[in-house]
Amino acid sequence: MKMAEPDRLRRGKAFHRKVQDDWKDTAEGKVWPEKPVTKPSGRPGRIDVHVQADEELVAVVEIKNSDSDAMTPQAVRRNAKRYAPALELHRGRDRRRVPGLARHRLPHTAEDRRPSR
């Protein structure tokens, strides 16, 4: 008997698919959702949305469905610090790659939007 997925996981996957579909419908260029990549460590990875706009410009998008308003400011900063290296990893040494983070909603206050250093 197959167990049902928790609602939180099901909602997160639905949001993930919606964002990917929105990119496919609106981005200019070739869009690869769930593009497989090899990390510098040699381990496999994936990019949530990879867009090849032209021969030089690439957008790399990491999708998150976190409710920042339900989190403490410390948890928001901790998550932002964790997301940044993942985006830089996908960007690599190629500065023509533009990293981005797609979120369900931003925190209400600007203070909660900035990771502490």
Give the start-end residues of each E strand in the chain. Answer: 30-38, 44-52, 58-64, 97-103
**CATH number for the segment(s) 7-113:** 3.40.1350
Q: Which residue has the tokens 């369900």?
A: 104
pLDDT tens-place string over residues 50-81: 888 887 777 888 887 777 778 888 988 888 88
Q: Please tell me the predicted confidence (pLDDT) of residue 105.
A: 55
Report the relative pairing of strands 44-52 and 58-64 from DSSP bridges: antiparallel
pTM of the model: 0.68
Q: What is the dihedral of CA 35, 37, 39, 44, to 10 degrees?
A: 90
